A and B are shown apart, each in its own frame.
Chain A
Amino acid sequence: MTAPERMELPGDTAVNGSTGNGNAGGAPLLTVEHLTMRFGGLVAIDDVSFRAEDRKITAIIGPNGAGKTTVFNCLTGFYKPTVGRLTLQREGRAPAYLERMEGFRIAGEARVARTFQNIRLFPKMTLLENLVVAQHNKLMRASGYTVRGLFGFGYGREEQKAVEQARYWLEQIGLVDRADDDADSLPYGDQRRLEIARAMCTEPVLLCLDEPAAGLNPRESADLNALLTFIRNEHRIGILLIEHDMSVVMQISDHIVVLDYGRKISDGDPEFVRQDPAVIRAYLGEEEEEDLPDIVRQDLSADDAGGAGAPS
């Protein structure tokens, strides 16, 4: 641990909601403590700790290969972390430890929804079907686990509710007219937004978006910003965001975590991260060093020593 810690985290024993970190206000929704993921000899994530708060947009940024998507895969149960604790704290409920849960339970019970870097819709199903499938667990109970539904008792009303929920989200993303078209007939930007709508249909408390703005043009990016701000403000959930597009990150994030080579190099509000020399170095390279003040240079060389030892 030679790298300087810019933000103190609560100890690894208890989840302590009152510990301030500069942008206090929301309750800590997700607490990631000492998350480490090794694939054989490769350390993809090395002792990363951060928090995502309720009703806030937390962005995870970093150069390619920094381990951002691996963090997501650990959070949503696609990988089992080698070390670490992932605590989801909901009001009035016992904390859920995501590292112990199976993937589909994280989505169904802990209510963490996610989207994917390469869009994963159900391409040959319609938009409406995509959104109704997302409400599977609720509808499954309503259909009496198929037995009752097979004979059509009392299931129609629940299905109607699910359709209304789908209609609401289709309205938010402006695709109601295309509700009955196949998902793969949509243009790329619409598919991205449909995936977000589908994730929202699971009624999550934490929405994890893996590069939602990738491949979008400026107008579509602006739409996306509006949609995410809307979700945060109106639906009052936490959003965790991986993004390369700085126009999205800087405009809408409340809090940014920067990863490089699997380690956290910066953590704070957008203004802080924007001026953090470690971040500038990670993104722009070493040339900047000459213009930096002495304190920062020392800081960086210390960082280098730590960074070089971490991988492999």
Chain B
Amino acid sequence: MAATIPHAGRPVDRRGILIELGGTALVVFALTVSLVGFHIKDISGGIALDLRFVDVASAVAIAIVVRGWLILMRHGHHRVVAASAAAVAAVLVVSLLFGGAGVQPWLPFKAQLLQWLLAVLSAGFAIGSAVRMARERRPVLSGAGAAQDGAQDGAAPDEQAALMDRVSAQVQRNALWIGAVLFLAAAAFPFMPGVNLQYLDIAVLVLTYIMLGWGLNIVVGLAGLLDLGYVAFYAVGAYSFALFASPDSPLLQDLGWTEGVSFWLCLPFAGLMAALAGVALGFPVLRLRGDYLAIVTLGFGEMIRVTLLNFYSLTKGPDGISNIPPPSLLGYSTQSKMDEETLENTTEFHTAMGWEFDQADTTILLYFVILAMALATNFFTVRVRKLPVGRAWEALREDEIACRSLGINPTNTKLTAFGFGAMFGGFAGSFFATRQTFVSPESFTFIESAVILAIVVLGGFGSQIGVVVAAFLLIGLPEIFRELQEYRMLFFGGSMVLIMLWRPAGLLAHREPTIRMHGRRARASTGSGG
């Protein structure tokens, strides 16, 4: 790459730069004009079209400026970039802090968070180019010398990648400690000052996705079976649970039961049903690999959803099953007695303890239930990796033909991977049902599968902590930034593109061996040597 880029002092290809800038502007315009330019708004009595061409123009202008900075940095004009980016950042920050309502019309976007992000972006450019400037002043001093001098710009991304590789290797190696710290933080989270119901709800949501990610990680990360229909098992779990837990379920009414079955009985049942669904899907797709497998699993996900939508006598179709109770505790109900006749003769936990009913307490209970379930999933995965079946999954991912030549039964091995992955999806589905108190086919669309898969891929295939980080990035942040409305999806997509460009194997892609002969220290020393 370095060879094609002219450095400072050489003649600059003005036409090329203009084409690059124009191309950027065109792409950004084409993307934003439909996504941002036309906005359909709900007004009383109908909808109206809101034209926001100012925003489109701002986006194009920002893209041109940012691209310009990148070009300047590529040509070695770090000083110009540092100065202008710092100026932009300073102007934005000052006007945001002290400008008040007066300057608002002059700033590019209406949402304040966006303007802050813009300021952060400019500041990032200023700092980045300043660092480059400092580095260029002492090129010969830093070891390698002349050979690296010419390829400096090309080498920088590699250095970053190597840094991230080291970070992920360290994270994987110290997974036990990091896991312990994360666990303590998670256990203390509901009782921290400043944690309100909203944050607790987001935490429950993030944990649900962490659990789903860990479950899917068994199938995709360990066994290497690309599953685009994971939401099907989530749905099977949720409906198996709802059908027995909710007093409103058609199944219980047919059976003549007036009360739902306890959460703690329905949960293993739902997991079992989902595991059976996983094995049922596994059979027909045993011979398929890669893209073909992905397409069939995608179809399976849709089949389950359409079945739920149309099997009205069992699932109530699009009406869904409502009135699913929260988990009971030590045999007591944790619901408040409101208008539910069926609850008349039950004792609630808060009454038994002599507490006032508080919605936050129920949420805290849910939080700990999902935390325990997610940890159980994690425990299973960590443990099973060190067992023959887990190693066989990984070996199957690496080379199926070699597995057969070693006497490993590929059928059983794949089916167990599908079954276990689906089982944890089913557990998560039960939790989803009890948390939402309502299930309908709408919750189990393809986009859910895609998000869960994105968590696994972004985290780094097979990486447990990677899934946690990715779930925070993909689920936590968009929830926290709800203020940004539809822009957050734009950021979601944008950041996914960036991460895939930067770390195509996932954020924390580093595989730690399941068994060692020489212990860790020996490896660290040989690793640094070679």
Partner-B contacts on A (CB < 8 A)? 76-78, 103-105, 107-109, 113-114, 116, 120-126, 128-129, 132-134, 136-137, 139-140, 142-143, 145-146, 149-150, 152, 155, 159, 163, 166-167, 170, 176-181, 198-199, 202
- B522 at the A interface (CB under 8 A): yes
Chain A residue at minimal CB-CB distance from B399: A120
- B482 at the A interface (CB under 8 A): no
Chain A residue at minimal CB-CB distance from B420: A146
Chain A residue numbers with a CB within 8 Å of B526 are 177-178, 181
A136–B399 CB distance below 8 A: no
The residue from B384, B404, B515 contacting A103, defined by CB atoms under 8 A apart: B404
A113–B515 CB distance below 8 A: no
B402–A179 CB distance below 8 A: no
A104–B404 CB distance below 8 A: yes
Do A122 and B387 contact each other (CB < 8 Å), given the known contacts A113-B405, A133-B408?
A: no
Docked pose: A290 CA to B85 CA in angstroms:
87
Contacts A/B (CB < 8 Å), 20 sampled: A77-B404, A104-B403, A114-B405, A121-B398, A122-B398, A124-B511, A126-B515, A128-B513, A129-B515, A136-B388, A136-B391, A140-B389, A143-B389, A152-B383, A178-B526, A180-B517, A180-B522, A180-B523, A199-B406, A202-B407
B388–A107 CB distance below 8 A: no
Chain B residue numbers with a CB within 8 Å of A145 are 389
Chain B residue at minimal CB-CB distance from A176: B517
The residue from A77, A136, A149, A152 contacting B392, defined by CB atoms under 8 A apart: A136
The residue from B402, B511, B513, B516 contacting A121, defined by CB atoms under 8 A apart: B402
Chain B residue numbers with a CB within 8 Å of A108 are 407-409
Please count the residue pairs between chain A and chain B whose beta carbons lie under 8 angstroms apart in the complex.
Answer: 127
B389–A120 CB distance below 8 A: no
Docked pose: A143 CA to B511 CA in angstroms:
23
B392–A133 CB distance below 8 A: yes
Within 8 A of A (CB), among B390-433: 391-392, 394-395, 398-399, 401-410, 416
A149–B399 CB distance below 8 A: no
- B15 at the A interface (CB under 8 A): no
Docked pose: A132 CA to B395 CA in angstroms:
11
B387–A128 CB distance below 8 A: no
Size of the chain B interface, CB-CB below 8 angstroms: 33
A120–B515 CB distance below 8 A: no
A129–B513 CB distance below 8 A: yes
- B199 at the A interface (CB under 8 A): no
Docked pose: A146 CA to B408 CA in angstroms:
15
Chain A residue at minimal CB-CB distance from B522: A180
B405–A126 CB distance below 8 A: no
Pick from B401, B406, B514 the residue with the most CB of A within 10 Å. B406
B402–A136 CB distance below 8 A: no
Given known contacts A140-B388, A180-B518, A181-B526, what 7 new A-B pairs fall within 8 Å (CB)? A122-B395, A124-B398, A124-B511, A128-B513, A137-B407, A176-B517, A181-B523
- B502 at the A interface (CB under 8 A): no
The residue from B395, B401, B416, B518 contacting A133, defined by CB atoms under 8 A apart: B395
Report the minimum CB–CB distance from A197 to chain B (whole Å): 12
Docked pose: A104 CA to B398 CA in angstroms:
17
- B380 at the A interface (CB under 8 A): yes
Docked pose: A105 CA to B351 CA in angstroms:
61
Pick from A133, A143, A152 the residue with the most CB of B within 10 Å. A133
The residue from A76, A104, A122, A159 contacting B394, defined by CB atoms under 8 A apart: A122
Report the minimum CB–CB distance from B81 to chain A (whole Å): 40
A107–B405 CB distance below 8 A: yes
Chain A residue numbers with a CB within 8 Å of B406 are 107, 113, 133-134, 136, 198-199, 202
Docked pose: A199 CA to B404 CA in angstroms:
12
Chain A residue at minimal CB-CB distance from B513: A126
Docked pose: A143 CA to B388 CA in angstroms:
8
The residue from A76, A178, A180 contacting B405, defined by CB atoms under 8 A apart: A76
Do A136 and B517 contact each other (CB < 8 Å), given the known contacts A122-B398, A150-B387, A180-B523?
A: no
The residue from A120, A129, A177 contacting B401, defined by CB atoms under 8 A apart: A120
Going nearest first, the 10 A-B pairs with the smallest beta carbon separation are A108-B407, A107-B407, A122-B398, A179-B517, A139-B388, A120-B402, A149-B387, A133-B395, A103-B404, A126-B513
B405–A128 CB distance below 8 A: no
B404–A107 CB distance below 8 A: yes
Docked pose: A132 CA to B387 CA in angstroms:
10
A132–B391 CB distance below 8 A: yes
Docked pose: A176 CA to B523 CA in angstroms:
12
Report the minimum CB–CB distance from A108 to chain B (whole Å): 3
Pick from A105, A113, A140, A176 the residue with the most CB of B within 10 Å. A140
The residue from B389, B394, B516 contacting A146, defined by CB atoms under 8 A apart: B389
Chain A residue at minimal CB-CB distance from B411: A104
Chain B residue numbers with a CB within 8 Å of A137 are 407-408
Do A121 and B388 contact each other (CB < 8 Å), given the known contacts A103-B404, A180-B518?
A: no
Pick from A105, A143, A163, A199 the residue with the most CB of B within 10 Å. A143
Chain B residue numbers with a CB within 8 Å of A166 are 517
Do A149 and B404 contact each other (CB < 8 Å), given the known contacts A104-B409, A128-B517, A180-B522?
A: no
A136–B408 CB distance below 8 A: yes
Docked pose: A178 CA to B527 CA in angstroms:
11
Chain B residue numbers with a CB within 8 Å of A163 are 515, 517
Within 8 A of A (CB), among B132-149: none
Pick from B384, B391, B402, B416 the residue with the most CB of A within 10 Å. B402
Chain B residue at minimal CB-CB distance from A109: B407
B391–A133 CB distance below 8 A: yes
Docked pose: A76 CA to B523 CA in angstroms:
36
Do A122 and B513 contact each other (CB < 8 Å), given the known contacts A133-B408, A140-B389, A180-B518?
A: no
Docked pose: A71 CA to B369 CA in angstroms:
57
Chain A residue numbers with a CB within 8 Å of B409 are 104, 108
Do A125 and B394 contact each other (CB < 8 Å), given the known contacts A107-B406, A113-B406?
A: yes
Report the minimum CB–CB distance from A11 to chain B (whole Å): 32
Chain B residue at minimal CB-CB distance from A128: B517
Report the minimum CB–CB distance from B223 to chain A (whole Å): 13
Report the minimum CB–CB distance from B69 to chain A (whole Å): 39
Chain B residue numbers with a CB within 8 Å of A136 are 388, 391-392, 395, 406-408
Docked pose: A167 CA to B523 CA in angstroms:
16
Do A180 and B516 contact each other (CB < 8 Å), given the known contacts A104-B409, A107-B407, A122-B394?
A: yes
A150–B380 CB distance below 8 A: yes
Chain A residue at minimal CB-CB distance from B523: A180
Q: Scoring B residues 497 to 530 as 1 if CB is less than 8 Å from chain A, else 0, what string do you get?
A: 0000000000000010111111000110010000
